Amino acid sequence: SVKQHVVRKFLGLISSHNIPVYLIDPLVLGLVDKDIEQIKSSPGGPSLECKYFCAPRDFTTFALLDKTWKHEVGLFRTAEKMGFQWLKIINKDPRLDGMDDLSGIEIPLHYIFKLASHAIHLVVFYERSGNYLWHGPLRLKQHMDRKFVPFRKLHFGRYPGAYEKPELLLISIDDLKVQIPKNPSSFLEEMSHSRFLECRYREARAFFQLYPDDASLDAVEFRKKAKSLLHLAALTLNNLGVKFWLSSGTCLGWYRQCNVIPHSKDVDLGVFIRDYKADIIPAFQKAGLPLKHKFGKVEDSLELSFQGEDDVKLDIFFFYEEDDHIWNGGTQAKSGKKFKYLFPKFTLCWTEFVELKVHVPCETLQYVEANYGPDWKIPVKTWDWKSSPSNVQYNGVWPIDEWDDVIQIY
Amino acid sequence: MDEWKPNPATKPHKKRSWYLAWKYKLMNQRALRKLCQTGAVLFLLVTVIVNIKLILDTRRAAYEEEEESAQDYDDEMLNVEVPRHPASNKKVLDVEVYSSRSKVYVAVDGTTVLEDEAREQGRGIHVIVLNQATGHVMAKRVFDTYSPHEDEAMVLFLNMVARGRILIFTIKDEGSFHLKDTAKNVLKSLGSQVAPFLSWRDMWTFVGKKGGEVYGEKHAKSPALSTWGDPVLLKTEVHLTSVEDAECHWPDTELTRRRKRFCSKVEGYGSVCSCKDPTPIEFNPDPLKDNKVFDVPVAVIAGNRPNYLYRMLRSLLSAQGVNPQMITVFIDGYYEEPMDVVELFGLSGIQHTPISIKNARVSQHYKASLTATFNLFPDAKFAVVLEEDLDISVDFFSFLSQSIHLLEEDESLYCISAWNDQGYEHTAEDPSLLYRVETMPGLGWVLRKSLYKDELEPKWPTPEKLWDWDMWMRMPEQRKGRECIIPDISRSYHFGIVGLNMNGYFHEAYFKKHKFNTVPNVQLKNVESLRKDAYETEIHRLLGEAEVLDHSKNPCEDSFVPDTEGKVYVMFIRMEQEADFTTWTQLAKCLHIWDLDVRGNHKGLWRLFRKKNHFLVVGVPASPYSSKKPSSVMPIYMEPPAKEEGAAA
């Protein structure tokens, strides 16, 4: 088959230049995943049929770790000699994007090698601060050949993506030796929600032009503590397998200024109530963050607060999904009053924040506007969580006999 | 090609059957009417299909465009290359050259390539080199030949320029006072008739081809000592040659392509662009065995001193164990020539929009460069920081590879530096010896990522604070009592003479006689003894072994130290408290080592070499090592000089 032939030639090309690539094609990985045990146990035997690489499709997708090769021009010369046509898609280096005044070099994000009717899509992955891999979006510049391949069918490149560094496994399928992620099904799962949002560095710069950053020692200290608290919280929740995102002030800080808001006093995270685990409280306590208060209950308005170092507090708000909106609750300790904060429905995207790969709502603007109103761009120093948010609703009072359970302060 | 059904193939077939049907059906009227009906229906159908397709196509195009711009909010779509110089196919260049007391300019084909009317600046002879085939400006220099030695630099430069290049000269203010005969003869050999007779405050312009014809020369004599010659304006034409004539015929390789690009753009780099025997631009030094710093990023901090950068990168790329992929050159400003140098060596370079001024500018450039380095290499625990005016020792990476684990494990360390402030030719001896010092020498050093990210970056001085980054790093609030590890013999050499805080005199006095290691693969001695507690044991051992010098003698005299080799001597100076460096400063002065501030001390102890003997200086009573002083010995006190003397130094 043409496909198998092209893949074979490509792998030959790549190995002749000592470039390590691994297969990330979702269709092929999906087929491989079904037979994974069998493939692992019978390595290398000649196979008569072409089972994986010959399935009908226009591309086969591979990944390349940027730091494992040297951008030699020789590769492309050899490719041309072998009959490949190739296309390189470059763009600005996002790792330098946050820095106002560096004219970053452009870096290759995607390569496409075309031979006969089949094409190889090579996605370049970069290591970024926060110990994760990133690939860029595929955007054609004006002069580029839009018909080179049917770009819209590509599996990677519609959005940038963030991934864990995968463990690799060398397998032999259809008479070809190829590296794949060790656990194809979890890679495919990861791929399905890998969309990455870059921080809005340009807007953040404009914000700081209007409102110069607080460079006082107190601000520096708070940011340092908030950062380490966030790192600790992320570690704890990730170990438990609890998915979380930046919420409230922490989310606003990311979206508006790509940094922790120095006068915000705490770190706010959101968690879907369906992801709640009873282990959360003991895990944080074990990590050195004692429970400060617990409001509400799993069925209604749950909210946990943990005490970090020197007065910096970690708030975890649990979110409840309804048909047309999502909400979280608040409780006033002294009166037992309940509040409800309403958000339009959202999905989760990855981003990088204070050297951490974390989730934020993909529809961040709607999320922030729901919470802080249309004037979210203007910093406010006095904030009352009961009245300031534009999405707050009064939600009655907890029955007195439940108070011991739903209002716990330590 | 299995799923793709080629449409065009069906077309001719269809056409043919149409034609046959038409011919046949014309036979009778009814058939004709029927044909008309069918034709109308068909026509309608085709119109509808075409329209639908059109709508679909437009929508798809719109969608594609929208998707492109929606995500890419900062995509400068077009990278239009603006030619630096006009008319590559034009055969003649119009050149205008102006010389006067307060202003010079050079225009090529109407484009100003030099204009200098700044006051108190740019005095001397301005030289511009043009490519004889393209007319591009390849080099721009000014030599202040009113001052001594600048004419020598000019001669050096002119000798480096390749034959065939077009040279343009013009004087601003004064260019003859220290223009010696050698230089005048070089100008004469280029075809100048006036140069040998150039004198005080004459104005002069000259255009000629190196080793070829003269395109024009104008001169205005100064009528009197107190006045300048009248401004002169030279207008002339220069005939361009073909590109092939201007290029060398090197074999076609990857390296050659880099070299060609470089050599067609800039001049003044000597044999890199020599046609016959070009100097290598790839070095392939021996790899290091068990190289612990192979994956450590190297940040080269540069400004607009491309010749320095060239020299620096050559030495860096020749050092054993270098990993070119980890090197990034950070250029402070949008200067082309430093970037050309970076590309010549196949390295990556990043330009930095200058913010703020002077020291603060350097400081902001450092911050941006360090942040970018750790962003680009997120796995790195360290970064090597170098500057463009350093030579790098052949065993630089070997030195770091042997010592870097200390920086990782010993929290009382602030940095590892390749530079010993007190390591002069006459005071450094042992390439395998390391010290701990309380000062931060800079000039080729290793920074721990955690120190930068957790401590320095968040409170780095902001642009409005006109601070030197290195002075700031030396402040107790930052250093917090931590120390740096340095070698006795430096692994870097500071060759820069022009710089923000640098001039010829200063360089001659404090840097020129600095010792620089040239021995490869030096095995460092006793590295483990550099750890915090082990070092104290080591010092006590040394002091125990040291012979106390005769304190009745003058410590500045050579005879203060006996004519021995390889012995350890100790002397005691007065040091009332931790910050009392009165005597030390006087001693440093007379020993001709660094005396502008205190460097190289460890708990009131300095270690250096005199006459090939290890020479220890202990400050009494401030130093904890004072206890080693025999009670009979009176610490030496040296008085600071009277005021005038101090000002003169």
* Cβ contact A2–B375 (<8 Å): no
Judgement on whether residues A187 and A212 belong to the same structural domain of the protein: no
| CA gap A195, A357 in Å, rounded | 12
Please provide residue A262's backbone torsions phi and psi, each rounded to the nearest 5 degrees: -65, -25
Q: Which of A140, A167, A194 is the last residue of a domain?
A: A194
Judgement on whether residues A176 and A204 belong to the same structural domain of the protein: no
Q: Which of A158, A175, A194 is the last residue of a domain?
A: A194
* Cβ contact A141–B375 (<8 Å): no
Contacts of A96 in chain B (CB under 8 A): 350, 372, 375-376
Q: In the predicted model, what is the mean pLDDT of chain B? A: 86
Say what the pLDDT of residue B85 is. Answer: 46
* Cβ contact A104–B458 (<8 Å): no
> How many CB atoms sit inside 10 A of residue B14's CB?
9
- Please give, rounded to a whole number of angstroms, the shortest distance from the CA of B1 to a CA of chain A: 6
Give Cα B362 distance to the centre of its chain.
13
Q: Is the pLDDT of residue A81 over 90?
A: yes
Residue intervals of chain B classified under CATH 3.90.550.10 are 298-511
Judgement on whether residues A272 and A253 belong to the same structural domain of the protein: yes
Judgement on whether residues A185 and A202 belong to the same structural domain of the protein: no
- Least CB-CB distance to B71: which of A70, A104, A137? A137
- Least CB-CB distance to B348: which of A105, A116, A128? A105
Judgement on whether residues A213 and A140 belong to the same structural domain of the protein: no
- Please give, rounded to a whole number of angstroms, the shortest distance from the CA of B579 to a CA of chain A: 27
| CA gap B550, B568 in Å, rounded | 14
Q: Is the pLDDT of residue B28 over 60?
A: no
- Please give, rounded to a whole number of angstroms, the shortest distance from the CA of B281 to a CA of chain A: 17
- Please give, rounded to a whole number of angstroms, the shortest distance from the CA of B621 to a CA of chain A: 36
Reported pTM:
0.82
Question: What does the angle CA A91 – CA A96 – CA A101 come to, to the nearest 5 degrees?
Answer: 110
Write the DSSP string, B205-237.
EEEEETTS-EEEEEEE--SSTTSPPPPEEEEEE
Q: Is the pLDDT of residue B384 over 80?
A: yes
Judgement on whether residues A222 and A348 belong to the same structural domain of the protein: yes
Judgement on whether residues A246 and A357 belong to the same structural domain of the protein: yes
From residue B366, alpha-carbon distances to A119, B303, B320, B415, B468 in Å are 44, 11, 26, 16, 10
pLDDT, tens digit, 9 for 90 and up, residues A345-376: 999 999 999 999 999 999 999 999 999 999 99
Contacts of B74 in chain A (CB under 8 A): 92, 202
CATH, residue A141? 3.30.460
Which tokens go with B2? 């299995």
Q: Is the pLDDT of residue B560 over 50?
A: yes
Strand stretches in B295-451, DSSP E: 298-302, 327-332, 348-352, 382-387, 390-392, 413-417, 434-437, 445-448
| Confidence band, pLDDT 50/70/90 cuts, at residue A44 | low
Judgement on whether residues A163 and A205 belong to the same structural domain of the protein: no
Is A2 at the interface with chain B, CB within 8 A?
yes
Residue of B nearest to A57 (CA): B3
Residue whose C-alpha is closest to residue B70's, from A255, A139, A27, A254? A139
Residues B549 and B570: beta-carbon distance below 8 Å: yes
- Least CB-CB distance to A103: which of B1, B350, B379? B350
As a three-state string, the secondary structure of A93-130 is CHHHCCCCCEECCEEEEEEEEEECCEEEEEEEEEEECC
| Confidence band, pLDDT 50/70/90 cuts, at residue A42 | confident
Is B77 in a helix, a strand, or coil?
coil
Residue whose C-alpha is closest to residue A105's, from B329, B378, B254? B329
Is A96 at the interface with chain B, CB within 8 A?
yes
Judgement on whether residues A183 and A268 belong to the same structural domain of the protein: no
Is B371 at the interface with chain A, CB within 8 A?
yes
Give Cα B345 distance to the centre of its chain.
13
Judgement on whether residues A244 and A181 belong to the same structural domain of the protein: no
Say what the pLDDT of residue A39 is. Answer: 87
Write the DSSP string, B611-639.
TTEEEEEEEEETSGGGGGS-TTPPPB--P
Is A145 at the interface with chain B, CB within 8 A?
no
- Please give, rounded to a whole number of angstroms, the shortest distance from the CA of A42 to a CA of chain B: 31
Say what the pLDDT of residue B333 is. Answer: 87
> Residues 348..367 of B with a Cβ closer than 8 Å to A: which?
348-355
Contacts of B354 in chain A (CB under 8 A): 101
Give Cα A98 distance to the centre of its chain.
17
* Cβ contact B375–A130 (<8 Å): no
* Cβ contact A159–B462 (<8 Å): no
pLDDT, tens digit, 9 for 90 and up, residues B145-203: 998 888 998 998 999 898 899 999 999 999 999 999 999 999 999 999 999 999 999 99
Question: Active-site residues of B: which are they?
Answer: 389, 470
ipTM: 0.85
Q: Which of B79-93, B536-550, B559-573 has the lowest mean pLDDT?
A: B79-93
* Cβ contact B375–A146 (<8 Å): no
Judgement on whether residues A144 and A212 belong to the same structural domain of the protein: no
Task: Identify which has the larger pLDDT, A161 or B502.
Answer: A161
Residue of B nearest to A119 (CA): B1
Judgement on whether residues A177 and A230 belong to the same structural domain of the protein: no
- Least CB-CB distance to A56: which of B2, B68, B458? B2
Q: What is the mean pLDDT of residues A21-35?
A: 95
Contacts of A89 (CB under 8 A, 6+ apart): A108, A109, A110, A111, A112, A138, A139, A140, A144, A157
pLDDT, tens digit, 9 for 90 and up, residues B99-136: 999 999 999 999 999 999 998 889 999 999 999 999 99
Sheet holding B547-548, edge to edge: B547-548, B568-575, B613-621, B605-610, B601-602
| CA gap B388, B327 in Å, rounded | 13
pLDDT, tens digit, 9 for 90 and up, residues B289-314: 999 999 999 999 999 999 899 999 99
Q: Is the pLDDT of residue B358 over 80?
A: no
Is A106 at the interface with chain B, CB within 8 A?
no
Contacts of A224 in chain B (CB under 8 A): 454, 458
pLDDT, tens digit, 9 for 90 and up, residues A97-141: 777 677 667 899 999 999 988 999 999 999 999 999 999 999 998
Contacts of A91 in chain B (CB under 8 A): 72, 75
Contacts of B348 in chain A (CB under 8 A): 105
* Cβ contact B334–A70 (<8 Å): no
| Confidence band, pLDDT 50/70/90 cuts, at residue B206 | very high
Residues B375 and B480: beta-carbon distance below 8 Å: no
| CA gap A190, A24 in Å, rounded | 11
Q: Is the pLDDT of residue B10 over 70?
A: no
Say what the pLDDT of residue B637 is. Answer: 96
- Substitution target from B71, B361, B449, B450 for chain A, most A beta carbons within 10 A: B71
From residue B283, alpha-carbon distances to B318, B347, B577 in Å are 6, 13, 51
| CA gap A338, B308 in Å, rounded | 69
Say what the pLDDT of residue B11 is. Answer: 39
From residue B502, alpha-carbon distances to B25, B389, B508, B511, B527 in Å are 99, 11, 10, 10, 34
Q: Which fold has domain B298-511?
A: Spore Coat Polysaccharide Biosynthesis Protein SpsA; Chain A (3.90.550)
Residue of B nearest to A54 (CA): B2
Q: Which domain holds residue A349?
A: 198-409
* DSSP annotation of B190: T
Count of domains in chain A? 2
| CA gap A244, A246 in Å, rounded | 7
Say what the pLDDT of residue B495 is. Answer: 85
Q: Which of A7-21, A43-57, B245-259 has the lowest mean pLDDT?
A: A43-57
Q: What is the mean pLDDT of residues A257-267?
A: 91
* Cβ contact B462–A142 (<8 Å): no
| CA gap B386, B324 in Å, rounded | 14
* Cβ contact A140–B68 (<8 Å): yes
Q: Is the pLDDT of residue A175 over 80?
A: yes
Instruction: Tell me the Cα Rg of chain A.
Output: 25
Residues B111 and B130: beta-carbon distance below 8 Å: no
Residues A156 and A138: beta-carbon distance below 8 Å: yes
Q: Is the pLDDT of residue B235 over 90?
A: yes
Q: What is the mean pLDDT of residues B245-269?
A: 88
Burial B231-245 (b: 16+ CB within 10 A, else e): ebebebebebbeeee
Contacts of B251 (CB under 8 A, 6+ apart): none
Please count the helices (runs of H) and the strands (runs of E) in chain A.
11, 21
Say what the pLDDT of residue B58 is. Answer: 47
CA atoms within 13 Å, Cβ hemisphere of A180: 27
